[in-house]
Amino acid sequence: MKRSPSQALKNPKLILGEISAIGLVCAVGAVLPFALESAHFSGEHPELVRWVRLLGLDNVFASAWFLAPLVLACASLSLVVVQQFRRAAQSWPRRLKPEQFQKALFRAEFDRPAQTHASGGKASSGGKAPSAVEGQTTSVIHSKGRVFLLGSPLFHTGLLVVVLAGVVRALFGADAVMDLVEGETISPGPAVWNGQFPGYLARPISLNRPVVLTKVNSVLYPDGGLKKLSAAFATEGSGEPGNIEVAVNKGFRVDGTRLHVGSDFGAAPTLGWPDGQGGTAWEAVLTTDFGKGAWQGVSSEHNGLRAHVRTLVDAEGKASSETDVRIMKGSVLACAATLVVGQSATLPDGSKVTLGRVPFWIRLKASRDPSTALIYAGFALIMTGATIMFTVVRFDTCVLVTPCGDHERVVVALHAPRFGPLCRERFARLVREQGGVG
């Protein structure tokens, strides 16, 4: 029999295959890049490495190996979600009939003495024993946990929303990064950022007005580890508040762009190099933490010379007044000096390198993410759906009572579509309530 594409996409075997394929590709993507980075592996298996690169397995999350099963899974998911909602809408108002309990997982029949009170008709709910009228079978059908019907549709809708948010982020989101020194200004425009990573259809990150980094505030643990880090900015122009603070885990939104900082920062001793025309070219040397309060960095090259600088930062995040400067020509030490602000070291050709101020630098990241609301909605749906699926147990109970002279014939049944055996105690309790032996 020929299946339509939508039927094929809803085929459980295909769905299981899609989940397995995505899992397998993710496992490959989590392992292979590290294997390829290993010099030993690359040296031993150059041919294999070539094939891995050729097949795009070194960047598998942007390759067809990942995207094809993901697209297929989303197509299946969309169809399944529609089907599940439709089924839930049909099943929600539906009441089971006594005949449908014939093959219930739990079913017991017993006799009990006739009840003294009697009232006719069918009861529709409640755990009380139904009242019987001579010659007429009465039934009480009770459904519990119908909300269970919504669990799977909500969960799977959430998955779709999360994937959709990922697509929106990949297309319209943007990230940028820059290393900024105290006193520097982020000018409007995208070119000022060191790195721009816009989505496929997104414009690069750009602020609408100048923003100045006024101060980097850091607090260190006694062993030199970072305890707190924040950066104070001043915005120029009208509208927004003039001063803003961006801290680790506490970003700030400016002109639709979120600014945030990680843990990358340090002292940035500023060196003045002779520019060859009688002037001075200033360069901030970005230092990084080398442990025990020591921060080191290397300048760019000036006439074949590089400066290796080392400064100390105390627990309050203040740089020492002295900075060690070692000027290297290749691997040869050209000169070394410990400088305070304003002092100079004399180079072999007689010119001087001067230590200017010692500000701090920070790595500032910026992101623009139009998918935020979607991703939160997706997470909320997934969590709601999963909570319903695994904490709500749906079951239906049926109690049939048929008067037979001075006693009554009672049938008690419990039907649970999932986790049936877990309802054993509940069924036993129901039987006891109806006068049977649980």
Partner 1 sequence: MNNFAIEASFHWAAVALYILGTALFAYALFFARPGAARWALWLTGAGLLPHSAALALRYFSVGHGPYMLKYEVLSSNTWIAVVMLLLFVWRRRDWNAVALLVMPVCILMMGLGLFSNPEARDLPPTLRSIWLVFHVFFNKLAVGAFLLSAGASVALLLRERGVKGRFLEKLPDAETVESYMIRFIGFGFLFWSTTIGAGAIWANQSWGRYWGWDPIETWSLVTWLCYGALLHARFFFRLRGKAAAWGVLACFLVSILTVLIFPFVFPSLHSAYFQ
- Selected from 7, 194, 303, 387, the binder of partner 1 by CB under 8 A is 387
Closest approach of Cβ 182 to partner 1, in Å? 19
- Selected from 15, 57, 181, 232, the binder of partner 1 by CB under 8 A is 15
Angle between helices 46-54 and 12-37 (to 10 degrees): 130
For residue 249, state whether it binds partner 1 (rule: CB under 8 A): yes
d(CA 325, CA 311): 9
Q: Candidates 117-125, 270-278, 284-292, 379-387 — which segment interacts with partner 1 by CB under 8 A?
A: 379-387
Amino acid found at 235: T
Closest approach of Cβ 248 to partner 1, in Å? 4
Residue 178 near residue 286 (C-beta atoms within 8 A): no
For residue 279, state whether it binds partner 1 (rule: CB under 8 A): no
d(CA 7, CA 79): 9
- Selected from 302, 310, 365, 394, the binder of partner 1 by CB under 8 A is 365
H/E run at residue 380:
helix 372-391
Phi, psi of 194 (to 5 degrees): -65, -40
Residues β-bridged to residue 220: 226
Cα-Cα-Cα-Cα dihedral sign, residues 349, 354, 355, 361: negative
For residue 74, state whether it binds partner 1 (rule: CB under 8 A): no
Closest approach of Cβ 187 to partner 1, in Å? 21
For residue 200, state whether it binds partner 1 (rule: CB under 8 A): no
Residue 374 near residue 164 (C-beta atoms within 8 A): yes
Using DSSP's 3-state secondary structure scheme, residue 10 falls into coil
Which x/- pattern, by CB under 8 A, does the window 299-338 give for partner 1?
----------------------------------------
Q: Candidates 44-52, 301-309, 313-321, 375-383 — which segment interacts with partner 1 by CB under 8 A?
A: 375-383
- Selected from 287, 367, 397, 434, the binder of partner 1 by CB under 8 A is 367
Site residues (CB under 8 A) for partner 1, limited to 21-40: 22-23, 26-27, 29-31, 34
- Give the DSSP per-residue string, 98-147: GGGGTT-SEEEEEEEEPPS----S---S-SSPPP-BTTB-EEEEEEE-TT
Residue 160 CA, chain-centre distance (Å), reads 15
* Closer by beta carbon to partner 1, 225 or else 279: 225
d(CA 203, CA 209): 17
Using DSSP's 3-state secondary structure scheme, residue 31 falls into helix
* Closer by beta carbon to partner 1, 199 or else 359: 199
- Selected from 343, 424, 426, 428, the binder of partner 1 by CB under 8 A is 424
Q: Candidates 106-114, 124-132, 219-227, 267-275 — which segment interacts with partner 1 by CB under 8 A?
A: 219-227
For residue 265, CA distances in Å to 191, 295, 319, 375, 425 come to 22, 10, 12, 30, 61
* Closer by beta carbon to partner 1, 342 or else 421: 421
Site residues (CB under 8 A) for partner 1, limited to 255-274: 258, 260, 262-263
> By the criterion CB under 8 A, which residues form the site for partner 1?
12, 15-16, 19-20, 22-23, 26-27, 29-31, 34, 61, 166, 169, 175, 221, 223, 225-229, 247-251, 258, 260, 262-263, 365-367, 369, 372, 375-376, 379, 382-383, 386-387, 389-391, 418-422, 424
